[in-house]
Amino acid sequence: MPVEPRILVIEDAEAIRVSVETALRAAGFAVRTLADGDQLEVELGRFRPDLLVLDVMLPGRDGFALLRLVRRLCTAGVVMLTARDGVDDRLRGLGDGADDYVVKPFVLAELIARITAVLRRIGRAQPAVEVGDLVVDLDSGLALYNGVRVELTVTEWKLLSYLATRRDRVVSKTQILTAVWGYDEYSANLVEVNVSTLRRKLEAHGPRLLHTVRGQGYILRGDRS
């Protein structure tokens, strides 16, 4: 199994913190959260995050102060969250070393996409995952099955890369909805249709790898049982 990228979320609003943590875990990341920056130095040394999701408006030291501290202590990526869409704030954060900005309110799928893009830019994205004769290159965005490229839509790629990072593990429809679309209230039919399409595309190049586990969800598995 590839090592899961480690994400440290610092957000004082509990509802946002919990929803971001849930979505990131569903997307295959290892996650820890803090409500403020008091324990930031400890977590940087203990958890060693690959990337921080850092709110600008925090009690005590604000996000800008914490960003400067992060830049002194480590090379992790930083995606900042802000309720203010002012150019000055964004320029200030980027000037202090932030890698990207997401303005509240945001869609969880967008945040995950931006985190993934930053991890790729700083060289901390997950490596290629092999599932039988299928190679899912998470860095380049390519899927090769028996050496042949599988042509996928953006949504199909998100679905496949999520399943690949959770290979040999059953994932539920709710987990897939949260990871791929950023919501968990959509009809399960949305997952079923996209899984069916992805399965057909994969099976055009080789044996079945994407299996349905009745009553539980789906599993991407390299064996042929």
Task: With a cut of 60, say whether residue 24 has pLDDT above it.
Answer: yes
pLDDT tens digits, 117-128: 898 888 887 677
Task: Say if residue 14 is exposed, middle or buried (CB neighbours under 10 Å; 0-12, 13-18, 19+).
Answer: exposed
d(CA 66, CA 43): 13
DSSP string, 155-213: HHHHHHHHHHHTTTS-B-HHHHIIIIIS-S-S-HHHHHHHHHHHHHHHHTTSS--EEEE
- pTM confidence score: 0.66
Helices (H) and strands (E) in the chain, counts: 8, 11
Domains recognised in the chain with CATH numbers: 6-121 (3.40.50.2300), 129-220 (1.10.10.10)
Share of the chain above pLDDT 70, in %: 92
**With 70 as the cut, is the pLDDT of residue 200 above it?**
yes
Read off the pLDDT of residues 134-174 as tens digits, 9 standing for 90 and up: 989 877 678 889 888 899 999 999 999 999 988 899 999 99
Record the tokens describing residue 21, joined without a space: 């943590």
Task: Find the range with the poorest average confidence among 26-30, 66-70, 125-129.
Answer: 125-129
Average pLDDT value for residue range 198-210: 95
pLDDT score for 67: 95
Top pLDDT among 201 and 1 is at 201
| Residue 190 confidence (pLDDT) above 50 | yes
Relative orientation angle of helices 63-73 and 87-95, to the nearest 10 degrees = 20
Tell me which range, 25-34, 124-133, 148-157, is most confidently predicted by mean pLDDT.
148-157
The average pLDDT across 192-212 equals: 95
pLDDT of residue 3: 61
